[in-house]
């Protein structure tokens, strides 16, 4: 199941990056985006292509929030927002880097995306494992209480 999920994720990102790169090439040809827009200073968004220790931490928090949201029967847009915030900008910047031949952007954004996905996978697994442990203990306690009540 992990292999299927991983291959689906990789294929999905590859297709999305390819489509975005093609559209970025079109924007480049039309003059809507220039190479200076891509490689120039972008202090507000440099985290997308300059990963650091916070990249992994944000990914872990996003995944834990997403898993908790999904498994608590309170699924909302928030879980998707958390996950999108950590992955979509990096994937989009990979595509822009490909369209403009900006190797630094491609490398940094790919590293950011890999950190995000790794952190999300690890946090998702840990959150589910923790929930399973807690719910198993609660189920055993509940079963003992029911047996005691029936004996009384």
Per-residue model confidence as pLDDT tens digits over 3-41:
787 788 889 889 999 999 999 999 999 999 888 888 888
> Helices 103-151 & 77-100, crossing angle to 10 degrees?
160
Structural domain count, the chain? 1
Q: Please say whether the beta carbons of 83 and 66 come within 8 A.
A: yes
Could you write out the DSSP letters of every residue in 108-152? HHHHHHHHHHHHHHHHHHHHHHHHHHHHHHHHHHHHHHHHHHHH-
User: For the whole prediction, is pTM greater than 0.85?
Assistant: no
Rounded Cα distance between 96 and 92, Å, is 6
Backbone φ, ψ for residue 12 (5° rounding): -60, -45
Name the least confident of 1-10, 60-69, 70-79, 116-125: 70-79
Q: List the domain range (segments joined by +) for residue 130.
A: 2-151
């Amino acid at each position: 199941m992990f292999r299927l999920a991983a291959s689906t994720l990789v294929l999905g990102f590859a297709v999305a990056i390819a489509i975005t790169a093609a559209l970025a090439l079109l924007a480049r040809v039309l003059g809507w985006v220039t190479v200076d827009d891509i490689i120039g200073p972008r202090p507000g968004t440099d985290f997308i292509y300059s990963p650091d220790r916070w990249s992994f931490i944000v990914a872990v928090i996003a995944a834990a929030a997403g898993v908790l949201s999904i498994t608590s029967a309170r699924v909302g847009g928030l879980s998707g927002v958390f996950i999108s915030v950590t992955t979509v900008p990096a994937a989009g910047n990979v595509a822009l880097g490909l369209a403009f031949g900006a190797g630094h952007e491609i490398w940094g954004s790919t590293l950011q995306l890999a950190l995000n996905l790794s952190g999300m996978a690890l946090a998702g697994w840990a959150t589910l494992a923790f929930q399973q442990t807690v719910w198993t203990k609660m189920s055993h306690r509940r079963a003992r209480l029911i047996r005691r009540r029936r004996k009384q």
